[in-house]
Chain A
Amino acid sequence: MTTQTRSHRALRYAVPAVVLVLFLLVPTLVRGEYYLHVLVGVMFFAYMASAWNIVCGYTGQLSLGHSALCGIGGYLSTLLFINLGLTPWVGMFIGAFCAMVVGVFVGYPCFRLRGPYFALTTIAFAEILRIWVENTEEILGIELRGAQGLSVPLKGHSPGLFQFDGKVAYYYIIIGMLLAVMAVTFWMERSRIGFYLKAIRGDQDAAEALGINSTRYLLSAMALSSFLTALGGSFYAQYFRYINPERNMGLDLSIEFALMGIVGGQGTVLGPVLGAFLLTPAGEISRATLGGKFPGLHLVIYGLVLVLAVLFLPKGLIQPIRQFLGRGAAGRAGGKSAAA
């Protein structure tokens, strides 16, 4: 039986390692900018859904305003670049810090609300920001250009300024970011804050009765999530070299982040990644093949997947996979001991 557990454990580490190596090798194996573009999109959404998951998956609240944080990150790093020539590598952290502050400020009163009211309030805050940016041409002498959006000045291939020719460099950067956020989630899950959050998610009143300062831990999770989301927003701005309120701060984007986190499995490390890996290619392919004739098809697919997920897989896609893996190990061990 010990041999069984050892080889099973080796398998658990080997499979993800192989998958990771495969993904790292993709740019050498696959020729075609389009496929790389889709993969960058997949990794980006996996990253954002994971960042969203840090606060929402583990607290059970539904934030539909995360795109605002993404937009803050993108806008701030771009504005600092345009107006001060500050490299986005630094600008993105400044943007992330500001988003963190905003997230905590907005979160503080919001966390008093429960369930759907929390969701509605996050929508309201995000929409307020988006509408304000959309209608503001300039503020304090800084050009915001409202709905037209901002273009990141093209400097050619300049790694120091977070701009690269082609997509390969972006691909590796976003994989690195994704691995980082997964590591953060993994660490947080097993730390004290993770346990407190799960308690709050189970029953906030009971948790508080046990002496857990729910506000402090909820806001910590919110701060972390906001920081990471904004970093992703800066990446988004640098990858597309263009941002505008509709794309980067819109409700649609918020819904996509939440959707992938939920369909994949909230409150787990792999869940949001799985959700993104499933939905983004589906969306991209439907947009590419039929998008011209049928605008919005990919969103119909997303909506359908959401309905099916809520009805049949409420704990997310990761649930059946986990059951399969868990049952596999227990079954083998149980069978062996029963035979013995």
Chain B
Amino acid sequence: MDPIILGIAVVNGVIVGGLYGAIALGLSLIFGVMRVINFAHGSFLMLGLFIPFWLWKLFGVNPYLAAVVAAPALFGIGYLIQATIIAPLFKRERAMVLEPLSVLLLTAGVGIMLDNLALMTVGPDFRGITMEFAAKALWIGTVLNINYTRLIAFLVSLAITVAMSLFLARTDLGRAIRSTAQNRDAAALCGINVPRVYNITFGLGCAILGIVGCVMIPFYLVSPAVGLAFGIRSFIVVVLGGIGSIPGSILGGLILGVVESVTAQFVTATSASIFSFVIFILVLFFRPTGLMGMKV
């Protein structure tokens, strides 16, 4: 195997991996704070990809600018879904600890509905946008080149991660979220409005997907089917990196990205996903808390 080709594969894997990490960030956050396994995460990303696409298609809006619309829109959708559909489940359980399977099924149902509503309204075709500088790339040396749009996506993913870490560490709301994650009863005793924190956390997890969708759409084709694929990928990343951990999410994303990219050099791309699943299963059996995660 030519080391240069391998090197390019690794670099591409890292670029894509950063993106995966950002996508999985929301999932990790939602579980860390609310113990909710959000099976609809991929479907929200699909929404986050469609919004900038349609804004570009109908109004010619630059996808990077569309983030101004997509992020709040997805925040709102996430907030609403948590407040109206998931919250009643919390009220039913007394100690605010959910029976995990009920929530899993609920979010799975929401995800199925979102995926297929999209399928019903826009059809199964893959769609993409065209941008002037999409074909241009940054050259390092003579062989290594990174597509500008992917590079931007990678940098934005890192920025999101850093911003999220700072937000959680420094702001009052971030502290409220962290304390709710640690002990919801104690947080309630301290005067934190726990249901509101839940709604905001869910909204934030989805808002991230809005931003990520905007930076992905320049080089990624969207269709209603991508929801399921990314949903599964997000779970692999979160399990790899450790649930509830932000740096873990990025690390898991990087590992998955590189594994996918390198194995795709040896086998077909679809077969390569078998390796991702195998790693997923191995991690679950031997180190279920992931590389950097907290205990479930």
Say whether A124 faces chain B, with CB atoms less than 8 Å apart. Answer: yes
- Tell me the bound Cα distance from A128 to B106 in angstroms: 25
Task: For A106, give the chain B residue with the smallest CB separation.
Answer: B281
Centre residue among A120, A304, A310, A314 by max chain B CB count within 10 A: A310
Say whether A117 faces chain B, with CB atoms less than 8 Å apart. Answer: yes
In the bound complex, residues from chain A placing their C-beta under 8 Å from that of B104 are 62, 115-116, 119
Contact B288 A124 (CB under 8 A): no
Q: A109-B285, A135-B271 are in contact. Are A120 and B239 (CB under 8 A)?
A: yes
Q: Given B37, B113, B235, B239, which contacts A300 in the complex, CB threshold below 8 Å?
A: B113
Contact B268 A135 (CB under 8 A): yes
Minimum Cβ distance to chain B for residue A287 (Å)? 12
Say whether B191 faces chain A, with CB atoms less than 8 Å apart. Answer: no
Say whether A176 faces chain B, with CB atoms less than 8 Å apart. Answer: no
Contact B284 A262 (CB under 8 A): no
In the bound complex, residues from chain A placing their C-beta under 8 Å from that of B277 are 124-125, 127-128, 131
| 0/1 interface trace, chain B 4-17, chain A, CB 8 Å (1 if under) | 00000000000000
Task: For A120, give the chain B residue with the smallest CB separation.
Answer: B235
Minimum Cβ distance to chain B for residue A161 (Å)? 34
Contact B112 A300 (CB under 8 A): yes
Q: A113-B288, A303-B109, A306-B108 are in contact. Are A311 and B88 (CB under 8 A)?
A: yes
Q: Given B37, B120, B280, which contacts A294 in the complex, CB threshold below 8 Å?
A: B120
Q: A134-B270, A251-B228 are in contact. Are A295 and B120 (CB under 8 A)?
A: yes
Q: Given A60, A134, A300, A305, which contacts B120 in the complex, CB threshold below 8 Å?
A: A300
| 0/1 interface trace, chain B 233-275, chain A, CB 8 Å (1 if under) | 0010001000000000000000000000000000010110110
Task: For A56, give the chain B residue with the smallest CB separation.
Answer: B101
Q: Given A113, A119, A123, A303, which contacts B110 in the complex, CB threshold below 8 Å?
A: A303
In the bound complex, residues from chain A placing their C-beta under 8 Å from that of B116 are 296-297, 299-300, 303
- Tell me the bound Cα distance from A303 to B37 in angstroms: 17
Task: For B279, give the chain A residue with the smallest CB separation.
Answer: A124
Say whether A121 faces chain B, with CB atoms less than 8 Å apart. Answer: yes
Q: Given A120, A134, A251, A305, which contacts B284 in the complex, CB threshold below 8 Å?
A: A120
Q: A310-B102, A314-B102 are in contact. Are A295 and B284 (CB under 8 A)?
A: no
Say whether A330 faces chain B, with CB atoms less than 8 Å apart. Answer: no
Contact A300 B100 (CB under 8 A): no
Centre residue among B37, B101, B104 by max chain A CB count within 10 A: B101
Interface residues of B in 79-113 (CB under 8 A from A): 85, 88-89, 100-102, 104-106, 108-113
Minimum Cβ distance to chain A for residue B292 (Å)? 17
Q: A131-B270, A135-B270 are in contact. Are A121 and B112 (CB under 8 A)?
A: no
Q: Chain A contact residues (Cβ within 8 angstroms of B): what range?
A: 35 or more
Interface of chain B: mostly helix, strand, loop or mixed: helix
Q: Given A128, A134, A302, which contacts B112 in the complex, CB threshold below 8 Å?
A: A302
Contact A60 B117 (CB under 8 A): no
Interface residues of B in 108-131 (CB under 8 A from A): 108-117, 119-120, 123-124
- Tell me the bound Cα distance from A127 to B124 in angstroms: 21
A residues whose Cβ falls under 8 Å from a Cβ of B: 60, 62, 109, 112-113, 115-117, 119-121, 123-125, 127-128, 131-132, 134-135, 251, 255, 262, 294-297, 299-300, 302-307, 310-311, 314
* Subset of 26 A-B contacts with CB under 8 Å: A62-B101, A112-B285, A115-B100, A116-B37, A116-B104, A117-B288, A119-B101, A124-B281, A127-B277, A131-B277, A132-B271, A135-B270, A262-B105, A294-B120, A297-B120, A300-B117, A302-B112, A305-B109, A306-B105, A307-B85, A307-B109, A307-B113, A310-B109, A311-B85, A311-B88, A314-B102
B residues whose Cβ falls under 8 Å from a Cβ of A: 37, 85, 88-89, 100-102, 104-106, 108-117, 119-120, 123-124, 224, 228, 232, 235, 239, 268, 270-271, 273-274, 277-278, 280-281, 284-285, 288, 296
